[in-house]
Structure 1
Amino acid sequence: MPVSETITANEESERMHPSPTAPPPRVLHLTQPVDGGVARVVADLVRAQLSEGLDVTVACPDSVLTTRLRTLGARVRHWHATRSPGASLVREVRHLARVIDEVRPDLVHAHSAKAGLAGRLAVRGRIPTVFQPHAWSFEAVGGGTAALALRWERWGARWASRVLCVSEAERATGVDAGITGRWTVVPNGIDPDRFHPAAAGTARARLAPLAGVHPAAPLAVCVGRLCRQKGQDVLLRAWEAVVQRVPEARLVLVGDGPDRDRLREEAPESVVFVGAVPDASPWYQAADLVVLPSRWEGMALAPLEAMACGRPVVVTDVDGARESLPPSFAARCLVPPEDPAALAGAVTELLAAPLLRETLGDQGRRHVLSTHDVRHTAEAVSDVYRDLLGPWTAAAPGAEHRATQRVEPIEYRESIHS
C-alpha cells in the first residue's frame, strides 16, 4: 500500500491540531551509515527518546548498531542499503516506503546523506520529516558527482519539514550552496559519564602493551574512520616533521575504513594502527593529545569526546570545529585543513608542553560539560519534534538527573533563499 494511503484524514487532522495531552509520537529514525559518529548520534538520541517515553523505531542495515539499539529497547527494522547512492537506490527507496507503511510514524528523522536521500524520496513530505545532514553530501565528492549531489540537496530540501544542522557553520555552508529550508542548529553532544578524565599513566600502562608503545613515550591519538574525510593521510605527512623534532613520539590511529591498507603502506614505524574498538575512551585517556585533521565535518564527535576526557585537541578549521572548541583553543589548536606543516607545528608544540596540555585539558572538559552534554542535545531535538507535532504527554524517567543548563536550538523560521 502506498505511503499516501496510510495517512487518513483523521490522522492528518490530529497532526495539524494535536491534543495538549496527546500520547508520545511514533518516531522513525533512518540511518546509513551504521558506524562512526552518525551511529553514535543515533544511539544517543534513541536512548534519550526512549527514556522520555517516545515510541522509537530505527530502520538501518544489520550491524553492530542494530544490536546496540535493541539492547536499548528500540524497535529495529532491517533496511538493506549501501553506503553510497547507486543502482540499488530505487529498490532501497521502495523497501523504505514499505517500512514506513508498516511503522506508521508520526515523524521521520533521516540521518546523513544516503538515508536523507532515500527517506525523503520515500516520504515526499507526507509525514513531518527532519533531515540531519551530518556534513553535506556535496562536500564528500568531486566533479560531476558533487554537482549532482548539490542539485539533489537543493531539490530535496522541499521535502524536509526541518533541516537540523549540528553547527552554525554547517547551516551556513548549506545556505551558501543555495539550499532553501527551515533550519535549526543543535550542536552535537557526548555522554560525560562515558567520556571522563582518568590518569594518563594508568590508561597508558593498560594499552601500551597492546599497541607496542612505551608507556613513557609522548603519545598522539587520532580516532576516526580511515577515509579521505578524516584526513589521516595529511596527518601522516605532518607526522614526519613531528618525529624529527620529538623522535620518541608515537602516533596511534584508532579506527578502520577503506583507506586502511594505503595508510599502512605510507606510515612510518612510529605510527601504530589498532583498528576499530568498541570504546575509544581508554585511548583518549591514554593520549597526551588527540588530533583530527578532517577535510570536512558537520561537527565531529572525536574532539568533543577527547575534551570530555580532559585531553587537549588539535583539529582542522572545517565546519563545526571552531564552534566545538573553547575560544582560548583557537590560536594553538585550530589549523587550516590540508596543511601538514601547520598541523605538525601545533602537535609538536603541545607534545613539548605538559603544563599547557593540562591547562587546555581542564578548559576543554569544562567547555564540553557546559555546551555539549548529550542530554542537552536530546532535549533540543525533542523541542524540534514538538514544534512540528505539537505537545505530547510523556514520562521522563531520570529527569531529575538532567543538567540544568540547556542547549537552546537556534531556529530560522523563515525559509532562507540563495
Structure 2
Amino acid sequence: MLQKSFTDGSRLTVLHLVQPVEGGVARVVTDLVAAQVRAGLRSVVACPPDGPLAAAARTAGARVCSWPAERSPGPRLAREVLTAGRLVRACAPDVIHAHSSKAGLAGRLAVRGRVPTVFQPHAWSFEALEGRAAGLARAWERFGARWSDRILCVSESERLAGQRAGITAPWSVIHNGIDLGRFRPAREDAAASARASLPLPEAVPPGVPLVVCVGRLCRQKGQDVLLRAWRTAAVGGARLVLVGDGPYGDELRRAAPPGVLFAGASADVRPWIHAADLLVGPSRWEGMALAPLEAMACGTPVLLTDVNGARESLPPGQLSHCLVPPDDPPALAAALTALLGDPALRAGLGVTAQSRARSVFDVTRTAAAVLCLYEELVGMSRPTTRKRTER
C-alpha cells in the first residue's frame, strides 16, 4: 500500500512535466498518477494538449495543465522553459518529476534546483543520436545533473549507460511496472476468440503462428530490422503484425514482405497479446520497454534485442533463447526460426515469463517506491541540488 501523506498530515503535490505524450512514456505517467491519486497525493500533469496523455491523466484523476512543447529541442525552447517556470510557480509543487529528455531539459533549466527535482530519462537521448548531436546531448546531461536531486532510471543497465556517459548524479533504479489486473493470461478459449476478433484485413487461420510487434513505428523500435529478419527467417506460413503508428509507417509498409500486416495504433493491446504466439521487441535502444512486460504477464513469450532493460526483464534462463543483439537481422531471423519451429519451447517460455512478470513488475510496487523517493527528497532539510549550487 502507498503511504498517503507526510507524517505531519500535509498533502504532497507532484508536478509531472512530460514530453512525449504517447507510447510508453504516456503509459508510465498515467499509471503512476493513477496510483498517486488513489494514495491521496495531488498529482498535476503538465504536457502538450494534443496526444493521448492529457485525456488519460485527467481520467486517472490528475489535474492537467497545457505545456505546449515540441518533442525535440529547437527555437521554441526558451519559451517552453519560461512556460514551465510559470507552471511551477502556479502549481507550487513539493516535487517536480520531469519525464524524458525534452521535459528534463526544459524543467531543469526552469527550476535549477529550487524545487526537489526528479529526472526520469525513459532511455537516454544520446543513444538516439550520432556524431556531434550525441556529444552535445551527453554534455547537456552531464551539466543538467547538477539540477537533479535524483535521476530515476527504470533499469540498472540504463543507469550504467548514464555513468559510462560521464553523468555524475544521485541515482535511483525503480523498474517499470504494469497493471497486473489488466494484463493477465487469457482463458483457454480466449486466445482463439481474440485471434478471430482481430481487426485484420484477412483472417489468420488456426494453427498458423502469429507474431506481434507492439510499438511506435519509428527508428527506436527497430521494426525495419524485424522486417529484414522476417524476409530470411524460416517462418513457414507465420504471420507478422505490427501494432502502432508513427513517422516510419509509410516507409515500413513499402519495405514489408508478404505476410506482414499493419494494424495501426491500438488503445488496448491486450487482444493482440492474447492472440500472439510470440511478441517481438526489436528495439535499438530503450530504458525498459513496457510491451514485453505486458506480454510476459499474459503468458506470451517474448523475443527481445539486448538493449537497456531487456536482460532485467527476462527470466535469467531465457537469455539464450529470447535475446539477440540489436540491429542484427541475421541473429533475429535465426531466433525467430528457432522459436516458431518449437511450440513446446514457446509454451514453456511463456509460463516462466508469466511467473517473473507477475512477481517482479507490479505497478503498485513501482508507484510505492517512487512515492518513497519523493518523501525522501522532500524530507531533506535542504535538497542536494541547492547544496551543490550554493557552494
What TM-score does the superposition give when structure 1 sets the normalisation length?
0.87
Instruction: Give the conservation status (yes or no) of the 8 Å contact 1:223–1:255.
Output: yes
Unaligned runs of 5+ in 1: 1-17, 392-414
Alignment of structure 1 residues 28-67 onto 2, 5 Å: 28-62=15-49, 63-67=51-55
**CA 1:25–1:208 in 2, change beyond 3 Å: closer, same or farther?**
closer
Matches of 1:77 and 1:167 in 2, distance apart?
A: 29
**CA 1:19–1:212 in 2, change beyond 3 Å: closer, same or farther?**
closer
% identical aligned pairs = 61
- Counterpart of 2:147, as a letter, is W
Corresponding residue for residue 110 of structure 1: 98
State the 1:143 CA deviation: 1.2
Instruction: Give the conservation status (yes or no) of the 8 Å contact 1:254–1:274.
Output: yes
**CA 1:152–1:209 in 2, change beyond 3 Å: closer, same or farther?**
closer
Matches of 1:389 and 1:132 in 2, distance apart?
A: 17
Instruction: Give the conservation status (yes or no) of the 8 Å contact 1:211–1:272.
Output: no
Instruction: Give the conservation status (yes or no) of the 8 Å contact 1:208–1:214.
Output: no
Instruction: Give the conservation status (yes or no) of the 8 Å contact 1:29–1:59.
Output: yes
Corresponding residue for residue 191 of structure 2: 200
Q: What value does the CA root-mean-square deviation take over the aligned residues?
A: 1.5
Choose the corresponding residue for 2:13, options 19, 22, 26. 26
**Count of paired positions:** 373
- Counterpart of 1:90, as a letter, is A
**CA 1:371–1:267 in 2, change beyond 3 Å: closer, same or farther?**
same
Structure 1 runs of 4+ off > 6 angstroms?
none
Instruction: Give the conservation status (yes or no) of the 8 Å contact 1:166–1:320.
Output: yes
Corresponding residue for residue 107 of structure 2: 119
Matches of 2:179 and 2:360 in 1, distance apart?
A: 12
Matches of 2:206 and 2:101 in 1, distance apart?
A: 41
Choose the corresponding residue for 2:160, options 172, 191, 203. 172
- Counterpart of 1:230, as a letter, is K
Unaligned runs of 5+ in 2: 381-387
State the 1:247 CA deviation: 2.7
Matches of 1:23 and 1:381 in 2, distance apart?
A: 18
Q: Deviations over 1:152-180 (max 9, x none)?
A: 00000000000000000000000111001
Structure 2 residue 72 is the aligned partner of structure 1 residue 84: yes
Structure 2 residue 245 is the aligned partner of structure 1 residue 256: yes
Structure 2 residue 227 is the aligned partner of structure 1 residue 236: yes
Structure 2 residue 67 is the aligned partner of structure 1 residue 72: no
Corresponding residue for residue 383 of structure 2: none
- Counterpart of 2:215, as a letter, is G
Matches of 2:304 and 2:236 in 1, distance apart?
A: 22
Q: Deviations over 1:206-258 (max 9, x none)?
A: 1165554334321100001111111101000000112xx23311100000111
Structure 2 residue 131 is the aligned partner of structure 1 residue 140: no
Q: Deviations over 1:249-268 (max 9, x none)?
A: 11000001111110000001
Matches of 2:199 and 2:337 in 1, distance apart?
A: 21
What TM-score does the superposition give when structure 2 sets the normalisation length?
0.93
Matches of 1:24 and 1:169 in 2, distance apart?
A: 34
Matches of 2:376 and 2:9 in 1, distance apart?
A: 14
